[in-house]
Amino acid sequence: MKIAEVIVDVSAYPVDRPFDYSIPETMEELIECGCRVKVPFGNRDILGFVVAIKNETEVPPDKLKPISVLLDIEPVLTGEMLELAKWMKRETISYEIDCLQAMLPSALRAKYEKMVILETDVKNLEEPLQPFFQHATKVDYKEFEKDGLLIPLKKALKMHLLSIENVVKQKGKIKEVRKVKIAADQNLLQMIYEGLSNRAKKQKQLVLWMQKHVGEIMEPEVIHEETTCSPQVLQAVIELGAAEYIFEEVYRNPFKKDVEKTDFLTLTAEQETALKDILDAMDKGSPETFLLHGVTGSGKTEVYLQAIQHCIQQGKEAIVLVPEISLTPQITNRFRSRFGEQVAVMHSGLSVGEKYDEWRKVHQQKVKVVVGARSAVFAPFENVGLIILDEEHESSYKQEDSPRYHARDVAIWRGKFHQCPVILGSATPSLESYARARKNVYKLLTLKERALKQPLPSVEIVDMREELKKGNRSMFSEKLADSIRDRLKKKEQIVLFLNRRGYSSFVLCRDCGTVMQCENCDISLTYHRYNEKLKCHYCGYEQPVPTNCPECGSEHIRYFGTGTQKVEEELTKLFPEARVLRMDVDTTKRKGAHEAILEDFGAEKADILLGTQMIAKGLDFPNITLVGVLSADTSLHLPDFRAAERTFQLLTQVSGRAGRAEKPGEVIIQSYTPEHYAIQFAKEQQYEPFYKKEMMMRHEAAYPPYYYIALIQVSHEDVMMSAEYAKRCADYLRSSLSFDASIIGPTTAGIVRLQNRYRYQCLIKYKIEPNLIPTFLQLMKIYRTEWIKKGIVLTIDLNPTMI
């Protein structure tokens, strides 16, 4: 008897391991690793994934239960994915089932129906299968199941004579078009023709025409056009049996418009050098990680495109990851215009069905390139030749829910698996990656100049404290207002960037720029509206919100932040003639809105694009000559050790939108703390000096990349329970980890009460801690067996992006 090891869909079980089930004889020839099954668990049937098949088990025969239902006769997960899940589960301290689920499109988690699709001439099929496809190209899977034909079906699937499609029941229904299939029998057509009376002239003409197109399948519109016959005539002829309607599935097309084909650009010397190193690694099959550090507008994308071209020529597939927020049509179109139909796109803007279609194109090896956000790193290609992470510094590459994986780590793992290079690209690499490149863990490739040797834009910083002293209370400094006026006159375009990160969460004095900081840590205090207090979530220090600035005594001390809508109002007051497009979460809710706004801006239907983080990246419009940053500081004072790095990155990225073509660009950054190094270095637009300074700061404070950090959060509806178990957690860690690891806490979390649960946390800083993972696993086990019953929720986040 054969036994399957199954990972079951219960992520509350204390032990995360596969369970053995016997494979019923009827399934033996059908089941494979990576198939989903239904298995009895407790008193119900639950979903599971087959992760191994073996001949023996230690489970006594009377305890061994059989698999109830086999959901897939073609595996949905490859062997690689099963292996990856095992690695991920340990790396991220999560359940294997969560890792497996994370790799699949949500459509496969929903209800669906399976259809069998004919991919060949009916005659090539084994005899028992043939009758099903006499009049259809698509047949319900249940028919084969009912007739006990799964084994020949599986054989045909293996030979690619048939394929299986899962039809998502709810929204994501497969889209079909109705087509006309002309009878394949010449004699039949002749008989029909002869049977028609001479008065049915149009019908006779049509059947005559059909005799030249025996067995062809075409859209009714084409027939109407070619023969000038009316739909009624076609209908009449179909009723006579000369043709029939069939339904053909089409992939939903998430691309609204076709794109124009583009050609390869002649590379600059710098691009050429970078590309060469990448191609060498591809040819050698070397799983190297490259860090492509190129200033904004240096043509990193062109390097990706040509590397992908090489990958396709090698007969391999490429995965391109871009941050969700910059997954704009502008970016995806650059890939589509080069590789056309060979590109699948995956992002959250697609419907469940569209996402599933794109995934299926990859799964069935119908495309060669996938461009997508974080989860596209799991694209089920089997012969990967290149993986690219664009804007590698983006925090959205880290998943914030279990499994808390970082796409960069998964990409590098897959690179090793497929023996292929990984490219991390950015104008402002994360400190971690740049430090690794400096240590030769990654290979550094540099593009110092813009592609057409355009200068980087000039950057000016305006001290908003001075503006206030001059009596200017508006959001626009005189300088920025003047420059806007100037561009409006010249009919050049303007991008206004409102930094929404850290919106309203810190308190700032508008007169002297003081930000309320913690006494014990170099970090700004977080404003808590519910009790009107300022709090440090690192050490727990708190104080009431002051009414006067402790430095200068001014009363102009307040929570900081302005919404885009307010800016828009003020803009239209100041510049009534300006045409403004606003791009933020509110204006882009509707599907396709994002695309429409950018298209309008590209077509110069507006003078000013006003937006949040969404507009900081990827935009490549030649007529933008002015970029204004309204509030550089908001992201600076977040209680996050990466605040300076994030601010520098944002300012550099958004500045990089200006002056990308012939006309020179100008950037104006408004700030209340212009002396801060992140702002000063952003003005220089030089990465290296910023990197050096920031590394010093991290060293002093013992933060990454010098130390690793892990964050454990405990929550409970009762504040005392939460505090109590967080303390138990800290005690446990202190008794298990080495003295080199520092355990900070427990302290309250940044947002203490979330969805009516009180949250406490412990922060662990460590360098080399061989016992870390085993300790965490043990802690998880205690939690899953004991604490969970008390209503505690515990999460462990290794290398959290935001603390």
Ligand X SMILES: Nc1ncnc2c1ncn2[C@@H]1O[C@H](COP(=O)(O)OP(=O)(O)OP(=O)(O)O)[C@@H](O)[C@H]1O
Sequence ranges of the binding site for Zn(2+): 509, 512, 518, 521, 536, 539, 549, 552
Single out the residue of 105, 299, 372, 674 in contact with ligand X (rule: CB under 6 A): 299
Partner in contact with 48, chosen from Zn ion, ligand X, none, beta carbon below 5 to 8 Å by kind: none
Residue 767 beta carbon to Zn ion: minimum distance, rounded to whole angstroms:
23
Residue 287 beta carbon to ligand X: minimum distance, rounded to whole angstroms:
24
451 binds ligand X, rule: CB under 6 A: yes
Closest CA to 49 of 91, 10, 12: 10
Taking a C-beta distance cutoff of 8 angstroms, is the pair 647, 636 a contact? yes
The full DSSP string for 550-611 is TTT--S-EEE----HHHHHHHHHHH-TT--EEEESTTTT-STTHHHHHHHHHHTT--SEEEE
β-pair partners for 113: 167
Residue 514 beta carbon to Zn ion: minimum distance, rounded to whole angstroms:
4
Residue 662 beta carbon to ligand X: minimum distance, rounded to whole angstroms:
12
372 to 411: interface string for ligand X, x by CB under 6 A: ----------------------------------------
Closest CA to 395 of 428, 422, 371: 428
Q: State the Cα–Cα distance between residues 337 and 796, nearest whole angstrom.
A: 42
Partner in contact with 521, chosen from Zn ion, ligand X, none, beta carbon below 5 to 8 Å by kind: Zn ion
CA angle 523/526/528 to nearest 5° reads 165
Partner in contact with 746, chosen from Zn ion, ligand X, none, beta carbon below 5 to 8 Å by kind: none
Single out the residue of 618, 659, 665, 750 in contact with ligand X (rule: CB under 6 A): 618
Q: State the Cα–Cα distance between residues 245 and 235, nearest whole angstrom.
A: 10
- Three-state SS string across 747-775, please? EEEEEEEECCEEEEEEEEEECCCCCHHHH
CB closer to ligand X, 268 vs 493: 268
CB closer to ligand X, 298 vs 396: 298
CB closer to ligand X, 294 vs 611: 294
Q: State the Cα–Cα distance between residues 289 and 42, nearest whole angstrom.
A: 46
Q: State the Cα–Cα distance between residues 100 and 407, nearest whole angstrom.
A: 15
Single out the residue of 271, 375, 514, 801 in contact with ligand X (rule: CB under 6 A): 271
Q: State the Cα–Cα distance between residues 207 and 689, nearest whole angstrom.
A: 78
Residue nearest to ligand X (CB): 299
248 to 267: interface string for ligand X, x by CB under 6 A: -----------------xxx
CB closer to ligand X, 337 vs 351: 337
* 319: number of Cβ within 10 Å: 29
CA angle 355/304/440 to nearest 5° reads 115
Q: State the Cα–Cα distance between residues 242 and 375, nearest whole angstrom.
A: 48
256: tokens are: 């609204």
CB closer to ligand X, 344 vs 451: 451
Single out the residue of 89, 154, 202, 300 in contact with ligand X (rule: CB under 6 A): 300
650 to 679: interface string for ligand X, x by CB under 6 A: ------x---x-------------------
CA dihedral 476, 477, 482, 488 (to 10 degrees): -20
Partner in contact with 302, chosen from ligand X, Zn ion, none, beta carbon below 5 to 8 Å by kind: ligand X
Taking a C-beta distance cutoff of 8 angstroms, is the pair 642, 502 a contact? no
Partner in contact with 299, chosen from Zn ion, ligand X, none, beta carbon below 5 to 8 Å by kind: ligand X
CB closer to ligand X, 301 vs 631: 301
Residue 48 burial (CB < 10 Å; 0-12/13-18/19+)?
buried
Binding site residues, Zn ion, CB under 5 A: 509, 511-512, 514, 518, 520-521, 536, 538-539, 541, 549, 551-552, 554
List the binding residues. 509, 512, 518, 521, 536, 539, 549, 552
Dihedral (CA of 233, 235, 236, 242) sign: positive
Single out the residue of 72, 302, 354, 584 in contact with ligand X (rule: CB under 6 A): 302
What 3-state DSSP class applies to 514?
A: coil
Q: State the Cα–Cα distance between residues 369 and 795, nearest whole angstrom.
A: 35
294 binds ligand X, rule: CB under 6 A: yes
- Phi/psi of residue 403, each to 5°? -75, 130
Partner in contact with 166, chosen from ligand X, Zn ion, none, beta carbon below 5 to 8 Å by kind: none
429 binds ligand X, rule: CB under 6 A: no
What 3-state DSSP class applies to 650?
A: helix
Candidates 186-194, 205-213, 297-305, 348-356 — which segment interacts with ligand X by CB under 6 A? 297-305
Partner in contact with 236, chosen from Zn ion, ligand X, none, beta carbon below 5 to 8 Å by kind: none
Partner in contact with 618, chosen from ligand X, Zn ion, none, beta carbon below 5 to 8 Å by kind: ligand X
Residue 222 beta carbon to ligand X: minimum distance, rounded to whole angstroms:
38
Partner in contact with 271, chosen from ligand X, Zn ion, none, beta carbon below 5 to 8 Å by kind: ligand X
Partner in contact with 205, chosen from Zn ion, ligand X, none, beta carbon below 5 to 8 Å by kind: none
301 binds ligand X, rule: CB under 6 A: yes
Name the helix (H) or strand (E) containing 84: helix 79-91
CB closer to ligand X, 441 vs 452: 452
- Using CB under 6 A as the binding criterion, the count of chain residues that bind ligand X stands at 20
452 binds ligand X, rule: CB under 6 A: yes
750 binds ligand X, rule: CB under 6 A: no
Q: Is the peptide bond before 705 cis (omega within 30 degrees of 0)?
A: yes
- Phi/psi of residue 445, each to 5°? -120, 135
CA angle 519/525/531 to nearest 5° reads 115
Residues numbered 218-237 forming contacts with ligand X, rule: CB under 6 A? none
Candidates 106-114, 298-306, 381-389, 494-502 — which segment interacts with ligand X by CB under 6 A? 298-306
Chain-centroid distance of CA 178 in Å reads 34
268 binds ligand X, rule: CB under 6 A: yes
Which strand ranges, in their side-by-side order, compose the sheet holding 493-497? 458-463, 666-671, 624-629, 493-497, 608-611, 580-583
Partner in contact with 402, chosen from Zn ion, ligand X, none, beta carbon below 5 to 8 Å by kind: none
Amino acid at residue number 736 = S
685 binds ligand X, rule: CB under 6 A: no
Partner in contact with 265, chosen from ligand X, Zn ion, none, beta carbon below 5 to 8 Å by kind: ligand X
Q: State the Cα–Cα distance between residues 423 and 282, nearest whole angstrom.
A: 11
Candidates 293-301, 567-575, 591-599, 747-755 — which segment interacts with ligand X by CB under 6 A? 293-301
Partner in contact with 761, chosen from ligand X, Zn ion, none, beta carbon below 5 to 8 Å by kind: none
Single out the residue of 289, 296, 328, 795 in contact with ligand X (rule: CB under 6 A): 296
CB closer to ligand X, 301 vs 670: 301
C-alpha atoms less than 13 angstroms from C-alpha of 768 in its C-beta half-sphere:
0
Site for ligand X, rule CB under 6 A: 265-268, 271, 294, 296-302, 427, 451-452, 618, 620, 656, 660
